[in-house]
Amino acid sequence: MIPTSFPAKDEIARLSASMLIEAKAVHFNAREPFTHASGRKAPTYIDCRRLISFPRIRSALMDFLCVTVMREAGLEAFDNIAGGETAGIPFAALVADRMALPMTYVRKKPKGYGRNARIEGVMTEGQRVLLVEDLATDGGSKLSFVQAIRDTGARCNHTAVIFAYGIFPEMHERLGAEGVALHALCTWWDVLAEARRRGAFDEETLAAVEAYLHDPAGWLPS
């Protein structure tokens, strides 16, 4: 069941950022930067998969995700909740349970045997599907999942994530061009502000992170 009273959007962002820090899903290191899947170096890394091991944090974030989607898309906007393989699957299951909706999941690519399916579970033509993932960077993987959903004849115009990078303008442009709205609880800017408020990292590290957020393409380790 979804509680009927929730904080405002900016407070949800602050609380979500705080929970990500508390669960040690947030990693900042300017001296030994992380290598992202794109090959870029960055002083930031986030591991939302950790959240499934923290029941109270997990529950609060899923409540926030459900209410954010219902506020921004509507209370009766969906018929099916789909998780993206693999990180989105547990969060999709939790959202589907709260919203009392069927749950499916989308493979990154066909299995290569059996039915060679990308969609697991029951998804039918005309269903309005919400794609749930853990995070969004530039939106590329979301569009692959959305296309797999649309190939079934279902509709997918919304995706919901716990965390969106919030530093790549092309993400919203790419999703918007395909008619997909993104719903996210917080971004790196919210995490940086909360990390400063909590004193979670030293100021030198936070300054390096802020410099990266302002210019991710041009950032270089000091």
* Domain boundaries of the chain, sorted by first residue: 9-210
Are 27 and 46 in contact by the 8 Å Cβ rule? The answer is yes
pLDDT band per the 50, 70, 90 thresholds, residue 220: confident
Determine whether the annotation assigns residue 108 to a binding site: yes
- Known binder of ligand: residue 9? no
pLDDT of residue 210: 97
Residue 24 marked as a ligand binder: no
- The band of 117, judged by pLDDT with boundaries at 50, 70 and 90, is confident
Q: What is the pLDDT of residue 172?
A: 87
Annotation: CATH topology of 9-210: Rossmann fold (3.40.50)
pLDDT of residue 113: 67
SS3 string of 27-62? Answer: EECCCCCEECCCCCEECEEECHHHHHHCHHHHHHHH
Does 139 count as an annotated binding residue?
Answer: yes
88 labeled part of a ligand binding site: no
**What is the rounded distance in angstroms from the CA atom of residue 128 to the CA atom of residue 71?**
17
Q: What is the mean pLDDT of residues 78-98?
A: 97
- Does residue 68 surpass a pLDDT of 90? yes
Determine if residue 134 is labeled as part of a ligand binding site. Answer: yes
Check the annotation: does 114 bind a ligand: no
**Average pLDDT of every residue of the chain:** 94
Residue 10 annotated in ligand binding: no
Q: 178 among the known binding-site residues?
A: no
Find the range with the poorest average confidence among 46-60, 109-123, 145-159, 187-201.
109-123
Give me the residues paired with residue 81 across strands.
103, 130
Give the least confident one: 2-11, 48-57, 84-93, 191-200.
2-11
Contact partners, residue 108, CB within 8 Å, separation at least 6: 84, 85, 141, 144
Residue 40 C-alpha from the chain's centroid: 20
Angstrom distances, CA of residue 222 to CA of 31, 50, 166, 168: 7, 29, 23, 22
Find out whether 130 and 138 touch, Cβ atoms under 8 Å. Answer: no
Confidence of residue 112 (pLDDT cuts 50, 70, 90): low
| Per-residue confidence (pLDDT) for residue 138, from 0 to 100 | 83
Statement: residue 1 has pLDDT above 70 = no
Question: Residue 136, annotated ligand binder?
Answer: yes
Q: Tell me: is residue 107 an annotated ligand-binding position.
A: yes
41 is in an annotated binding site: no
Over residues 7-34, the pLDDT tens digits come to 999 999 999 999 999 999 999 999 999 9
pLDDT greater than 70 at residue 114: no
